């Protein structure tokens, strides 16, 4: 017995070992889970800044220089007012400040050529003198000196004749023309002294209307952006001995031209300021002149808008999923632009695309993908444009396992839905050797889908079969299986 037992057990063990397959002694079951990357979001946002021009500003100071005024004591106030005006506009505007005597010398054969000019203009030099009439400081204006040989004060004609004679030269077309008249008298052709003790005057409406028409005609004749007539004169009779009010000449002209200009910045003064000591004329006119000048803002108009995130992401962008939004930072409005108002434009050559169509064609941009706005729907400053898109949805037809599975143990789930083993409508195992494969596939129901750019993976592959068997961006794929034994 003892010998029999010794022979039986080795044989039994051999039978048991021989009868067990290799799969029955495989390793511990495994679970492979893969969550595909979701759609990427892309966005660009930018705005159009309007063009701020340095407007041309021509200011004419016509200053009373009669012998009887006693106005010379105001010379420092006039200088200070001019200096403040010049200093305040110098940083923002292209200016020419011209100074003339209100009453020309009777012996001067060409009084319209007797002036001085202070300028910071660098845009052009047309009409600017190169002699001593070109000064560098308001302190050098010589209209502060009294004139003793004049023929009476006819300020309105003097101003019109001087500007008209120097139009299209010293005074520029399309400029802001601002006239500042300083006098303690009145225009004797319009408002004559009636000879009464209280300074009453007669009014010549015919002369006044002629001068008003002449001065207003300068706006159209010179295509002026703005025409204003500021007067600093006495508003009451004899507020200083020897002074006369100009309520029916200079003051009236300021008010009428202000109304004709359509301006709204000086409703209380209507461009007429009181020269009398308590009137604050110089301080007020300084503010008034500056309020009257506004920078010229030129609106830009863009037909094309670059999709700035497209170049580096072209292969994965879904151009069918682009959203275009206009945002106005001034009004706060934000609207989604309908697709009927824009289209996609692909620049297939190396020539940059001009984004801007107004005020001039320009702003070249070396891009590939653009939004092209339809006529009437262009982007206008200061609008901002937001462009949004997502990556293309990627579709996958293969599942990669790191180790060889026991085929009969494979359980495949996509988004927790079990997929059966089937060569027509499920999965099949592609064999017992590792494969290197582009796992992306084309979805016949998605025209934008593509196998590119490829996603290359290596391992043991399960192939999905059937038109509806695939997984896509953002899906979760889980495979439970028993690895094959060694």
Say which DSSP state 352 is in: P
Helix (H, G, I), strand (E, B) or coil at 11: helix
Rounded CA separation 177/224 (Å): 7
CATH of 53-297, one of 3.40.250.10, 3.90.1300.10, 3.40.50.410, 3.40.50.2000: 3.40.50.410
Rounded CA separation 366/369 (Å): 10
Q: Are 470 and 464 in contact (CB under 8 A)?
A: yes
The residue ranges of every structural domain in the chain are: 23-36+394-481, 41-50+299-390, 53-297
DSSP H helical ranges for 222-315: 250-261, 281-292, 310-313
pLDDT in tens, the chain (486 residues): 333 333 333 333 333 333 443 444 446 888 888 888 888 999 999 999 887 777 788 999 998 887 655 555 566 777 777 777 777 665 667 889 999 999 888 888 899 999 999 998 777 788 999 898 999 888 788 876 656 666 789 999 999 999 999 999 999 998 999 999 988 889 999 998 887 666 778 999 999 999 999 999 999 999 999 999 999 898 988 788 778 899 999 999 999 999 999 988 889 999 999 988 777 777 777 777 777 776 667 789 999 999 999 988 888 888 888 999 999 998 889 999 999 999 999 999 889 999 999 999 999 999 999 999 999 999 999 999 999 999 999 999 999 999 999 999 999 999 999 999 999 999 999 988 999 999 999 998 888 888 988 999 999 999 999 988 899 999 999 999 999 975
DSSP of 169-182:
TTBPTTSEEEEEEE
Tell me the whole-structure pTM to 2 decimals: 0.59
For the chain, how many residues are written? 486
Rounded CA separation 371/386 (Å): 11
Say which DSSP state 421 is in: B
| Cα dihedral value 367, 369, 373, 375, nearest 10 | 70
């Amino acid at each position: 017995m003892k010998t029999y037992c010794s022979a039986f057990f080795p044989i039994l063990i051999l039978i048991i070992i021989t009868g067990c397959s290799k799969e029955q002694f495989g390793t511990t079951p495994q679970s492979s889970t893969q969550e595909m990357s979701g759609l990427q979001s892309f966005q660009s946002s930018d705005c159009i800044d309007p063009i701020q021009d340095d407007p041309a500003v021509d200011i004419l100071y016509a200053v009373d220089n009669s012998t009887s005024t006693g106005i010379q004591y105001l010379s420092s106030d006039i200088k200070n007012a001019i200096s403040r005006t010049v200093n305040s506009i110098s940083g923002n505007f292209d200016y020419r400040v011209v100074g003339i005597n209100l009453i020309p010398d009777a012996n001067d054969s060409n009084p319209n050529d007797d002036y001085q000019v202070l300028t910071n203009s660098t845009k052009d030099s047309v009409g600017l003198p190169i002699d001593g009439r070109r000064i560098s400081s308001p302190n050098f204006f010589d209209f502060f000196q009294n004139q003793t040989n004049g023929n009476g004060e006819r300020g309105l004609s003097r101003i019109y004749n001087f500007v008209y004679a120097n139009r299209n030269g010293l005074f520029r077309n399309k400029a802001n023309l601002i006239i500042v008249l300083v006098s303690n008298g009145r225009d004797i052709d319009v408002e004559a002294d009636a000879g009464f003790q209280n300074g009453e005057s007669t009014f010549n409406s015919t002369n006044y209307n002629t001068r008003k028409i002449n001065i207003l005609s300068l706006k159209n004749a010179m295509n002026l952006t703005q025409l204003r007539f500021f007067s600093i004169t006495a508003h009451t009779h004899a507020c200083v001995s020897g002074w006369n009010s100009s309520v029916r000449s200079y003051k009236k002209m300021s008010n009428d031209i202000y109304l004709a200009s359509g301006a709204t910045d000086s409703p209380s003064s209507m461009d007429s300021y009181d020269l009398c000591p308590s009137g604050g004329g110089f301080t007020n006119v300084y503010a008034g002149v500056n309020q009257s000048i506004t920078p010229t803002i030129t609106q830009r108009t863009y037909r094309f808008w670059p999709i700035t995130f497209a170049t580096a992401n072209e292969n994965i962008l879904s151009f069918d999923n682009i959203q275009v939004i206009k945002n106005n930072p001034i009004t706060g409005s934000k609207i989604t632009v309908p697709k009927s108002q824009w289209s996609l434009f692909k620049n297939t050559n190396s020539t940059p695309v001009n984004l801007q169509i107004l005020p001039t064609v320009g702003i070249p941009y070396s891009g590939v993908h653009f939004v092209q706005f339809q006529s009437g729907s262009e982007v206008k400053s200061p609008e901002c444009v937001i462009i949004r898109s997502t990556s293309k949805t990627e579709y996958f037809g293969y599942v990669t396992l790191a180790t060889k599975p026991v085929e009969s143990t494979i359980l495949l789930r996509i988004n927790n839905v079990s997929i059966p083993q089937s060569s027509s409508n499920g999965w099949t195992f592609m064999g017992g050797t590792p494969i290197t494969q582009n796992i992306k596939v084309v979805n016949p129901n998605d025209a934008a889908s593509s196998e590119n750019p490829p996603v290359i993976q290596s391992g043991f592959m399960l192939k999905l079969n059937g038109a509806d068997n695939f997984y896509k961006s953002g899906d979760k794929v889980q495979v439970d299986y028993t690895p094959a034994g060694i």
